[in-house]
A = this chain, B = another copy of it.
Amino acid sequence: MPSYSAPLRDMRYVLKDVFQMDKQWASLPALQELIDMDTADAILEEAGKIAGEVIAPLNREADEEGSHWSDGAVTAPSGFKEAYQTFSEGGWVGLGGNTEYGGMGMPKTLVGQVDELVQGASISFGLAPMLSAGACLSINVHASDELKEKYLPNMYAGTWAGAMDLTEPHAGTDLGIIRTKAEPQSDGSYTISGTKIFITWGEHDMAENIIHLVLAKLPGAPAGPKGISLFLVPKLLVNEDASVGGANGVSCGSIEKKMGIKASATCVMNFDDARGWLVGGENQGLACMFTMMNYERLGVGIQGLGAAEASYQNAREYARERLQSRSPSGIQAPEKVADPIIVHADVRRMLMTMKAFNEAGRAFSTYVASWLDIAKYSDSETDRKHADTMVALLTPVAKAFMSDKALDATVMGQQVFGGHGFVREWGQEQLVRDVRITQIYEGTNGIQAMDLMGRKVAMNGGSSIALLAKEIHAFVEDNSGESAQEYTQPLLASLHLLTQATETVVSQAQDDANAVGAAAVDFLHLTGYVTYAYMWAKMALTSQALLAEDEAFHGAKIATAQFYFQRLLPQTGALAQGISAGSSAVMALASEQF
């Protein structure tokens, strides 16, 4: 059976040693009273216990059992309801929530790490609090005070769960063509009618009520994305005193049979004259969704990381224990019938690759979260604006690059097990199946790449990339010593490829409408490799300075950085070369020639 243990040592390293996050927390007025490094440590330790002891042990069996649909009601797999209750009682759903309504007000730099622990234990389970937190975020920013007072406390407490209802059978990426309708009523509410699909945990028995945030169209709304509004639609109507009342016109038509995250229910939701309340302005639905999206998209990247870490931990144990063949350097375990497979360079290549991507991903997600915190909490408008730009640029990278590398990592973690990796009992194949969804939902990775390459790069002529480049150049200048060159020189070389590629595509896009799309995924990966190189350079220099404190730990960091620069970063050359080719070969065929 697979197991999961919280990578607390590495999280502390990222927060404290690499980013000195306590300084940032102390500098932000809303956070300085709430959190310091000791509090963060204590919270991570508690989260690690829940993840490792309460959630992770359910994950394998829940995949086999799945969620159950019967007569419109969904029952979560055995143990989920109790675990959800424990989780809620610990205050974890509202960890990052508004303190005015019972949230704990913690920064994303910490919440993101707690997320990794929960998702590493079980993506299927973790989706429930993740969607609740996302719904709360939108309500907190856009809903009226009345709605906030009525809904947020019970949602932060986990008593009620949240769900996001966007997709329709004919409208996934293209939300502008949704058909769900909202009719205004005399009392200020609306009646919502339509069908939504792919609604994660749209129905279940873990919470007393489920609060849906539903995209719908008002009568006479403009066509396309500018005619979409967001509505709060509870499964059970809520009385004035915030107790639950009668049923609303909300029902679950069926749940999907999926490749992975089988324990979670992916629902077809029917709204039949359900009562709902407008969140944000009329026709402002997409803007309201975007508030949440940067958080959710980073969260999906972190889901991938969680699963990739779990896969790594199991692969590492297996590689230490599985005896098979002898080391080419000579027998290592003469008392045994064969050596453990960790002696083999190719097994190490897989473990090192997983380690290099996972640890860079952990640092990178914290780095992105630090920009989210500044954007939300800083009292300097200049800093907030700078942070907004960085968040906009880096969010699609966090979502897509982290999830793409998570698939690679879980496939490698499965490969280390050989044939046993294909057998469900060992859990490694489940991680591949579960992680695969992170490349698809919350905007496919292709859509993320189009967002990056189009809106965040080509539309501003590459100025956001220039801002990132400026930061990296400053970092390199600050670390000009001899021993830094090994990392800073290839970092600068890869950054040069990125700025060149930016110029190339910005220029191509002037007279080629397909240039952005043709380059997008390769450009996103190029950006991912460069930002991970930045993370590894930071970590290598941090660990160089701290080496004497813990030679095994920091020595491993330095060696992993070297592995990243020698074996993984060269990918940037191939990506840059592909991007420079433009769209002609991509677009050459007529549809019927495929």
- B-contacting residues of A (Cβ < 8 Å)? 167, 170-174, 177, 197-198, 256-260, 316, 319-320, 323-325, 327-330, 337-338, 340, 342, 344-352, 355, 407, 411, 414-415, 418-419, 421-425, 429, 432-433, 436-437, 439-441, 444-446, 449-450, 513-514, 516-518, 520-522, 552-553, 555-556, 559-560, 562-563, 566-568, 570-575, 577-578, 581, 583-594
Report chain B residues within 8 Å CB of A432: 259, 436
Report chain B residues within 8 Å CB of A355: 594
Closest to A424 in B: B257
Tell me whether B422 and A260 are in contact (CB under 8 A): yes
Tell me whether B351 and A594 are in contact (CB under 8 A): yes
Tell me whether B173 and A328 are in contact (CB under 8 A): no
Report chain B residues within 8 Å CB of A592: 552
Which of A167, A444, A571, A586 has the most chain B CB atoms inside 10 A of its CB?
A586
A418-B444, A570-B573, A585-B563 are known contacts. Are A346 and B449 too (CB-CB below 8 A)?
A: yes
Report chain B residues within 8 Å CB of A338: 174, 177
Question: Binding site of A, secondary structure by majority: helix, strand, loop or mixed?
Answer: helix
Closest to A577 in B: B570
A571-B574, A593-B552 are known contacts. Are A415 and B429 too (CB-CB below 8 A)?
A: no
Tell me whether B440 and A419 are in contact (CB under 8 A): yes
Closest to A439 in B: B415
Tell me whether B352 and A586 are in contact (CB under 8 A): yes
Closest to A407 in B: B411
Report chain B residues within 8 Å CB of A583: 345
Tell me whether A422 and B440 are in contact (CB under 8 A): yes
Tell me whether A329 and B429 are in contact (CB under 8 A): no
Which of A323, A423, A555 has the most chain B CB atoms inside 10 A of its CB?
A423
A594 to B320 alpha-carbon distance, docked (Å): 10
**Which 9 A-B pairs have CB atoms at the shortest separation, nearest pair first?**
A345-B517, A559-B588, A259-B429, A566-B581, A570-B577, A563-B585, A345-B518, A556-B593, A574-B574
Tell me whether B563 and A172 are in contact (CB under 8 A): no
Which of A348, A516, A571 has the most chain B CB atoms inside 10 A of its CB?
A348
Tell me whether A594 and B342 are in contact (CB under 8 A): yes
A346-B520, A424-B257, A450-B346 are known contacts. Are A198 and B419 too (CB-CB below 8 A)?
A: yes
Closest to A332 in B: B591
Cβ 8 A contact of A259, one of B323, B433, B439:
B433
A441 to B338 alpha-carbon distance, docked (Å): 21
Report chain B residues within 8 Å CB of A436: 411, 414, 422, 429, 432
Tell me whether B344 and A517 are in contact (CB under 8 A): yes
Tell me whether A566 and B594 are in contact (CB under 8 A): no
Report chain B residues within 8 Å CB of A429: 258-259, 436
Cβ 8 A contact of A324, one of B172, B260, B407:
B172
Closest to A584 in B: B562
